[in-house]
């Protein structure tokens, strides 16, 4: 299963967290076969902080237990 997120850095941290949580939960229902990725290239206008947050949330929310 593949899910993508907007790579332009739009939205708040809470919106990103909520959507990533939803997508990861969907992946877990698919027997854990799940790839989280950005839906497009990270453009030059994307805030570096958003990319860092994305990576941190993947690690945090993707943990079992």
Q: What is the pLDDT of residue 2?
A: 45
Distance CA 42, CA 44 (A): 7
Q: Give the tens place of pLDDT for each residue, 9-30.
A: 667 888 888 888 888 888 888 7
- Other C-beta atoms within 10 Å of 35: how many? 9
3: which strand partners? 36
36: which strand partners? 3
User: pTM of the full predicted structure?
Assistant: 0.71
């Amino acid at each position: 299963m593949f899910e993508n997120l907007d790579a332009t850095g739009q939205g708040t941290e809470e919106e990103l967290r909520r959507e990533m949580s939803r997508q990861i939960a969907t992946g877990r229902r698919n027997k854990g076969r799940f790839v989280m990725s950005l839906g497009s290239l990270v453009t030059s206008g994307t805030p570096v902080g958003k990319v860092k947050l994305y990576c941190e949330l993947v690690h945090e929310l993707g943990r079992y237990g």
